[in-house]
Structure 1
């Protein structure tokens, strides 16, 4: 139950942050970031949220994982990319109401996730592989 509350809280935070930044109008330089999230067996993570968090600059970029496992990040808009830099990456898989995420909970926790990424100039294609939840 606590994992479910953590997932909901993270999702609400990311959505609120994206909405706030999108309304600020300040914009900034971003680079295109796309990729695919899959399980170790190669099957796609079908739905969910991916967050790139820049802990040094206290900012984040959010993407929504589609049914085929692909995502596009957005910072000031839904798909405008992310600023250059290094990020901790968290991923929360979609689940039916009352069920746990299909992804291992360590990927949803910024302190536990082993996932990192670096956004550089130009188009960035960054794929991730995650473990299934129990």
Structure 2
């Protein structure tokens, strides 16, 4: 029997968060949010999860980072965007079970991530740069 991969665990967590956001939210308007996540050297973060957390509203929007570093956020659906507002942003890279993510751990926690974003009316392109793990 194999242990579940970290990717499976993260995707399951993301699904739960999207479901919780949909249950708690009013189903209100969302704005399109896309972007790219790269390392300091400009290379793309190849796979992972990005979460925009609105702590005041107790809601979140989640995107899956593609192999080229791009993502599209979803709140009530996979790619429907996010409500307008200010967010703390966390990024967790893909890794094999038992291995560390390529991204520095501080970017994966709301209490330590330096990343923030504001979603405004209309299309939003929000790019982020992260540090590699040590």
Tell me the TM-score normalized by structure 2.
Answer: 0.87
Residue 70 of structure 2 aligns with which residue?
70
Q: Distance in 2 between matches of 1:83 and 1:128?
A: 19
RMSD: 2.2
Query: SS at 1:19's partner residue?
Result: helix
- Deviation, 1:28, is 1.3
- Deviation, 1:24, is 7.9
- Deviation, 1:120, is 0.1
Residue 84 of structure 1 aligns with which residue?
84
Q: Distance in 2 between matches of 1:25 and 1:56?
A: 13
Distance verdict in 2 for CA 1:125–1:59, change over 3 Å: same
Q: Distance in 1 between matches of 2:76 and 2:86?
A: 18
Tell me the TM-score normalized by structure 1.
Answer: 0.87
Q: Distance in 2 between matches of 1:26 and 1:54?
A: 14
Question: What runs of 5+ residues in structure 2 fail to find an aligned partner?
Answer: 1-6
- Deviation, 1:10, is 6.6
Residue 43 of structure 1 aligns with which residue?
43
Query: SS at 2:14's partner residue?
Result: helix
Q: For 1:93-130, what per-residue CA distance to the aligned partner results, in whole angstroms no more than 9, with x for missing partners? A: 00112100000000001000000000000000000000
Q: Distance in 2 between matches of 1:58 and 1:9?
A: 22
Residue 34 of structure 1 aligns with which residue?
34
Is 1:122 the equivalent of 2:94? no
Residue 4 of structure 2 aligns with which residue?
none
Number of residue pairs aligned between Structure 1 and Structure 2: 128
Question: What runs of 5+ residues in structure 1 fail to find an aligned partner?
Answer: 1-6
